[in-house]
């Protein structure tokens, strides 16, 4: 929020927000003009104190916002150019856009290939590189202000599991029961250190991108 100059009185929209957990956190932090949309909700959710999550698509939004956020949503949408033109429509001139996505130009992708856990076919329809996302945003009038790699050890242990033939929902999966993990504590600590280094090196398999919309109508 600080990087984009967003204050507690600014209008914020979370696209693909699920049940609104992040919006609740922002509300507790004092943000007052919050909204969320998710077309896969069974119905609208009234979370109280003026916070409503609507069962809508991005194309249904009519209001403009100071900040629009997509946290691991873009990769699930087929029409990438169309999405960015809709984002241009709902972000105020000069407003901010925060996009978090998995990234194919990453250490994990190069190491694991088809076993990379965030390949996640068929749920992930589009996988960007840093350059492809920045170019797509620029074509819609969004200038990059910064990027923060924010990957976790999951990129390594999840991919290692796939390589060993262990699905994420398998009883042997570290995600299902860490006590029955296929990995030693030393291995897990090593994955965490490697993830932290990948973040520092700009080699992580996911990142947050901070954009500013141009001031044209």
Whole-number percent of the chain with pLDDT over 70 = 100
pLDDT band at 1 (very low <50, low <70, confident <90, very high): confident
| 32-59 core/surface letters (b: 16 or more CB in 10 A; e: else) | ebbbbbbeebeeebebeeebebbebebe
Please identify which residue in the block is written with the tokens 């280094």.
197
- 13-64, pLDDT tens digit by residue? 999 999 999 999 999 999 999 999 999 999 999 999 999 999 999 999 999 9
Q: Which residues contact 134 (CB under 8 A, 6 or more apart)?
A: 144, 209
Predicted pLDDT of residue 2 = 86
Predicted model pTM: 0.96
- 151-170, pLDDT tens digit by residue? 999 999 999 999 999 999 99
Looking at residue 173, the DSSP 8-state letter turns out to be S
C-alpha–C-alpha distance, residues 71 and 215, integer Å:
24
* Mean pLDDT for all residues in the chain: 98
């Amino acid at each position: 929020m600080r990087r984009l100059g967003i204050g507690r009185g600014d209008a914020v929209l979370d696209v693909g927000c699920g049940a609104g957990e992040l919006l609740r956190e922002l509300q507790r932090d004092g943000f007052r003009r919050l909204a969320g949309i998710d077309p896969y909700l069974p119905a609208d959710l009234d979370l109280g104190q003026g916070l409503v999550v609507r069962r809508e698509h991005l194309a249904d939004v009519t209001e403009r916002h100071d900040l629009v956020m997509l946290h691991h949503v873009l990769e699930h949408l087929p029409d990438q150019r169309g999405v960015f033109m809709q984002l241009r429509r709902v972000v105020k001139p000069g407003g901010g856009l925060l996009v978090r996505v998995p990234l194919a130009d990453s250490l994990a992708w190069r190491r694991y290939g088809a076993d990379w856990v965030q390949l996640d076919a068929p749920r992930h329809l589009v996988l960007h590189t840093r350059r492809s996302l920045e170019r797509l945003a620029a074509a819609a009038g969004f200038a990059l202000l910064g990027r923060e790699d924010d990957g976790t050890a999951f990129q390594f242990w999840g991919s290692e599991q796939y390589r060993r033939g262990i699905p994420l929902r398998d009883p042997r999966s570290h995600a299902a029961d860490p006590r029955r993990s296929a990995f030693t504590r030393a291995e897990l600590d090593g994955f965490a250190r490697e993830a932290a280094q990948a973040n520092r090196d700009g080699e992580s398999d996911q990142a947050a991108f901070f954009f500013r919309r141009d001031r044209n109508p």
